[in-house]
Structure 1
Amino acid sequence: MTAELRASVAEVRRTSQEARTAIRGVARADVTGTVEYRRLEREVAESFRSGRSGPVARALQERVDRGELTWRQIRVGTADPAATRLYQENQSAFLDEMARVKRDVDEADVAAERAAAERRRERDGGEQPMTILKKRTGRRKDRP
């Protein structure tokens, strides 16, 4: 389970980094007319419509679908204040969830390390490695 969770978090981080890189690129060039942009826009809109991205994103997407505003207006803050606030809250909730997932992964890593250390102690009969070495060689660690 821990490895699966770590892999999922790594995938989220990778995807997040790709999104940040893409957003920086979009800010520098107008790509809204490209086939790739329209495809991504459709995929994001479908995710929002389905509710997979949360109720706030779904509500905002419904307003976009009705023609009340655009995602560009929301992103740059020129949409009505309520829509901008909802968008910022959604982003904040996403970041909070990512922080929670990271804490869970970190805690799972610590637990896994403790379990591995316990297994090593059990395997070695509860003795420290240098004690075992001393018994096997008949020498103390500090003497050749």
Structure 2
Amino acid sequence: MDSLLLLLGFICMIIGIFGSFLPVLPGLSSCWVGLLLLYLTKAVENNYWVLGITLLLTIVITILDYVIPAKGTKKFGGSSYGIWGTNIGLIVGILTPIPFGVIIGPFVGAFVGELIYDSKNHQRALKAATGSLLGFIA
């Protein structure tokens, strides 16, 4: 049983490492599941503090991955439509199989959201979408 858990934990860690570079893979959460599987074996002492702290960090960083692009949109003058567009675009970008969808999605979402808010001001929509992109990169 330990060998199976070690193998599954190793696979989760590898997926997590690739997920750090490929936005379509769940990087941080896969790494945490791999760590949990490692802790379920007899090879590692149970230290629930480490698991708890890493789970908390995983949750916080995952939430920030969604919040920071929206804050970038707001900082660059985006409206609530642009913020909603950013979040919807991020989810659509994650779920679509296009390359760099997770980067393109929030940008397009913020742009479309701002155009819905004010269809005549393309410059403002582009500025808010750029803020979304910079927020994602940060």
Bucket of the pairwise TM-score, normalised by the shorter protein: 0.3 to 0.5
With structure 2 as the length reference, what TM-score do the two structures score? 0.33
Higher CA-based Rg = 1
